Amino acid sequence: MRDDLQFFTVKVAGGSGCLFQPLNSCYSYVLTAKHVIEGVENLEIIRQYIEKDGTKMDEQVEILEAPYLHTSLDKDAAIIKVKKIDGIESLLRSDLSSIEKENWYLCGHPDSRVNNGFSYRKNKLKIENPVELLYIEGEIERNVNHSEIVGQSGGGIIKCESSCFLLAGIQKKKAVEDEEETLSRIHFAPLSFFDEIIQENEANLSPLFPPYIGTFSILLQEVFPFPNLLVKQELVRDTLVAISESICGGTNPDKIIKEYGQNFLVNGTPTHIIYHKSLWKSLLEFFTIIKLYEETVDLNDFESIHKKRKILIVDTDKWTKKLEEIYKSDLSEIEKGGSIVICATNESEPSKTEILAQELVILDISTPLDKMNISNTVEDPFNDLKLVNIFKFQHHIINNTLQLANMNGVNSKTKIKELTDGII
């Protein structure tokens, strides 16, 4: 099995670094430790990885500007702006507040492997507690000595999740010398250190969030794919994307996060999922569907929107696994007759797009009514609220494609609305 963590890991001078895609889509970052690059005159960054066919690749990463170093002597952090690198936006930030501390990896290019030609290495790591100066301590799973990880300074502390990758910080150094302790512990800089560099240089640097958090328009090419629609596919998609495009100027994910927080997350969903692309693709489709039905919609008035339909995202490969968690979520805004609209991060086309009340009884959803956060207009959430997957809208169009045979550029919006009204 190919190790995907290698694609985020680079060699930086005599150490390592981690690729990260910030809010600006014109460039990428290499995050590293300040001591790795201080005093280096001809700085070079190499991305080394193994292709599926076993071919070793060495790519030189183009540096755009002089590195940005943290101004505090106590904070070993640096950001290097590099030419845009595709395929790295699935690495999301993690601020360690509510995540599992196990199954992380220190990724880098230790000196001990330089002579092997391929120097990438990862060490399994458990995150421990904060230490002096706000660094975080991590314990490498198997005992390693200092010489084994020299060169991994600046490397990322990365975790592979089912639907994304997480970055917790950047390695500084081994916690203590080998002669003093054999616990194989390292210290790493949290992402807050890099946030501070960005704040000090806000005219030149962008925050540590994917580009689509700044604008919905980046997602226009990915919404409403309709891969199995055999009739009028292009016209259906163009009609819906035109509505999506009209929405992009009215709001953006960053504004929604600041005003609405994590209210889109199903109960128990990790907080980093608020930055997941699946959420924002689904939300853009959700807004588009509402505007198709209602013509005008105030994207800043979620309370009004959610009276009829509330969208929630859950981190899973099958949304029907999470029914208990869905009914434990904040459903207080939805009034009787409304819909709970679900999106799963790792599910492209669910086999079931709606759950009926009688099915919920059979499935024995055991969340008691007094434990549910529901509107006072709702007496029986299983009967009073409809539970559907966001894909049901597309699924209905695909399954009723013959009804679109007479659709043309003039009537396409009306035809789609008539076909789907009331589906979600």
For the cut 90, the answer to whether the pLDDT of residue 22 exceeds it is yes
pTM for this prediction: 0.90
**Side-chain half-sphere CA neighbours of 157 within 13 A:** 32
Note whether 76 and 195 are same-domain residues: yes
**Two tokens, residue 245:** 């495009």
Which of 28-37, 111-120, 301-310 has the lowest average pLDDT? 111-120
Please give the full DSSP string across 201-231, using - where no structure is assigned: TTTT---SS-GGGT-GGGGTTTS---TT--S
Indicate the pLDDT class of residue 149, thresholds 50, 70 and 90.
Answer: low
Q: For residue 206, is it within any domain?
A: no
When mean pLDDT is compared across 125-129, 217-221, 269-273, 359-363, the lowest value belongs to 359-363
Same domain (yes/no): 12, 73: yes
Per residue, the 3-state secondary structure of 3-31, as one string, reads: CHHHHHEEEECCEEEEEECCCCCCEEEEE
Domain end point (choices 153, 174, 200): 200
Type of residue numbered 201: N
Does residue 130 fall inside a structural domain? yes
Number of domains in the chain: 2
Output the pLDDT for position 148. Answer: 62
Between CA 375 and CA 332 the distance in angstroms is 4
Structure tokens at 246: 């009209």
pLDDT value for 180: 47
Q: Which of 146, 177, 200 is the last residue of a domain?
A: 200
pLDDT band at 376 (very low <50, low <70, confident <90, very high): confident
**Look-up of token digits 């007759």:** 337
In 3D space, the residue among 231, 280, 214 whose CA is nearest the CA of residue 406 turns out to be 231
| Residue 179: predicted pLDDT | 43
Specify the pLDDT at position 289: 95
Tell me the residue range of the domain where 369 lies.
Answer: 211-420
Does pLDDT of 246 surpass 60? yes
Same domain, 186 and 273: no
What are the angstrom distances between the C-alpha of 154 and each of 20, 117, 124, 187, 274? Answer: 13, 20, 16, 11, 27
pLDDT of residue 302: 82
Strands 309-314 and 339-344: parallel
The arithmetic mean of pLDDT across residues 166-176, rounded, is 83
User: Half-sphere exposure (CA, 13 Å, Cβ side) for 354?
Assistant: 15
Residue 412 lies in a domain: yes
What pLDDT, on the 0 to 100 scale, is given for residue 296?
75
The answer to whether position 132 is within a domain reads yes
Q: Are residues 180 and 218 in the same domain?
A: no
Does residue 358 share a domain with residue 262?
yes
Confidence at residue 59, expressed as pLDDT on a 0 to 100 scale: 95
Residues 175 and 87 in one domain: yes
Instruction: Name the token pair of 65.
Output: 């500007």
Please check whether residues 196 and 240 belong to one and the same domain: no
Do residue 284 and residue 309 come from a single domain?
A: yes
In this predicted structure, what is the pLDDT of residue 98?
58
Domain boundary among 200, 235, 269: 200
The verdict on 244 and 263 lying in the same domain is: yes
The candidate with the shortest Cα–Cα distance to 395, out of 353, 424, 356, 355, is 353
C-alpha–C-alpha distance, residues 257 and 93, integer Å: 15
Q: How confident is the model at residue 413 (pLDDT cuts 50, 70, 90)?
A: very high
From CA 295, how far away is CA 179, in angstroms rounded? 71
- Specify the pairing of strand 78-83 against strand 68-69: antiparallel
Task: Quickly state the pLDDT bin for 408 (edges 50, 70, 90).
Answer: very high
Q: Is residue 55 part of a domain?
A: yes
Q: Is the pLDDT of residue 366 over 50?
A: yes
**Measured distance CA(71)–CA(194) in Å, rounded:** 11
Which pLDDT does position 181 carry in this prediction?
47
Q: Is 186 helix (H, G, I), strand (E, B) or coil?
A: strand
Long-range contacts for 232-238 (Cβ within 8 Å, ≥24 apart)?
A: 232/401, 232/404, 232/405, 232/407, 232/412, 235/407, 235/408, 235/409, 235/412, 236/397, 236/404, 236/407, 236/412, 236/416
CATH assignment at residue 32:
2.40.10.120
Residue 62 lies in a domain: yes
Instruction: Mark whether 83 and 147 lie in a shared domain.
Output: yes
Q: Which of 92-106, 176-190, 352-366 has the lowest mean pLDDT?
A: 176-190
Q: How far, in Å, CA of 323 to CA of 56, rounded?
A: 45
Could you tell me the pLDDT band of residue 162, with boundaries at 50, 70 and 90? confident
109-118, 140-149, 285-294: least confident range: 140-149
- Locate 265 and state its tokens: 């997350």
Structure tokens at 416: 């789609």
For residues 114 and 249, state if they share a domain. Answer: no
- Contact status, residue 176 vs residue 130, Cβ threshold 8 Å: no
218 and 90 housed in the same domain: no
Q: How far is CA 323 from CA 264, 267, 330, 332, 419, in A?
A: 15, 10, 13, 17, 28
Q: Judging by DSSP bridges, how do beta strands 165-174 and 185-190 pair with one another?
A: antiparallel
